[in-house]
Structure 1
């Protein structure tokens, strides 16, 4: 009792700058939407292979204000450090499986506004189930 504390996140966000290099971790739910004939909305399907999951992540870096730092420009250095399926139980409607993939590596901030938005709002789907949280630490 009494051991939890709250800190202002604004102080951390205000110190970030374009060009800053940070170590990151992101646990996400890499998915794609598949069109279904005759239906207004498509089906959401998980990416299964490591290659698909890495491509899903790389496709979101620019729109979230960062790029992956690596030894070669064409082969950015980051890795998937965990892949698992979480079982979600829904009252009355059974269970669902949720693909959880954890990415780690080093990034460089390229667009401060977009990056802060990603830090505040997360990346990808299923945020209500703990996905999408981008965490960083200075190098």
Structure 2
């Protein structure tokens, strides 16, 4: 497994073109792998995420089984003569995860649930719209995903509810884009709501957490969701 980091040059027209569309960014990421075809369903095995730390600092992270070649991204949206990308062997880090260790984490996800207005209606996938419900989505998945989000000490809580855990949700993005159904050929407008979670966690099941870090968490992985990364306190 490999973890790759690439800084996007936001001053370039090609970068702005990619950043404006999850579909275009997905195609660019998939083009980094010689054996991958952008339209294949198993493309979700390649995870990616954009971290918009500021207007001038946007980082692309990729987790993949194959080492990527981002030459085309450097030429289109980077610094071709002065900077490249960094790819790290992820296996040693994953193998070193231990029960009880604590980490800062970041995750961009598509928090959804299924609802229906009547008993006979087909259940419809719908995005969670409030930070409280978005946090609840992640908290309900933590045990199966191999971690526990740390709780905020009672004397440091400032709200009656909503800050019981060391978890924040930010940078909500709402998009709508065209998608053609493979089975029917019908074109639809697909809504996509994404949010970024930052917080602190404790490892409860290293094997399950390794699966989460390499296979992703939640839906819309092809559109930059599901990739969780860990860092020591004060690290990146």
Q: The TM-score by the shorter chain falls in which range?
A: 0.7 to 0.9
- The structure 2 residue matched to 1:83, chosen from 172, 180, 190, is 172
Distance in 2 (CA, whole Å) between partners of 1:38 and 1:84 is: 28
Question: Per-residue displacement from partner, 1:70-116 (whole Å, max 9, x unpaired)?
Answer: 32379111100211112323356243220101110111101111111
Give the C-alpha shift of residue 24 in structure 1.
0.5
The alignment status of 1:47 with 2:128, answered yes or no, reads yes
* Bigger relative CO (Cα 8 Å, ≥ 6 apart): 1
Counterpart position of 1:68:
149
Distance in 2 (CA, whole Å) between partners of 1:5 and 1:16 is: 22
Distance in 2 (CA, whole Å) between partners of 1:30 and 1:72 is: 26
Which stretch shifts more, 4-13 or 129-138?
4-13
Q: Which has the larger radius of gyration?
A: 2
- The structure 1 residue matched to 2:106, chosen from 25, 40, 56, is 25
Distance in 2 (CA, whole Å) between partners of 1:5 and 1:81 is: 26
- State the SS of the aligned residue for 1:7: strand
Distance in 1 (CA, whole Å) between partners of 2:219 and 2:129 is: 15
The alignment status of 1:128 with 2:222, answered yes or no, reads yes
Question: Per-residue displacement from partner, 1:5-46 (whole Å, max 9, x unpaired)?
Answer: 53321111012111111110111000112256264xx21111
Aligned residues: 137
**TM (normalized to structure 2)?**
0.53
Distance in 1 (CA, whole Å) between partners of 2:102 and 2:146 is: 12
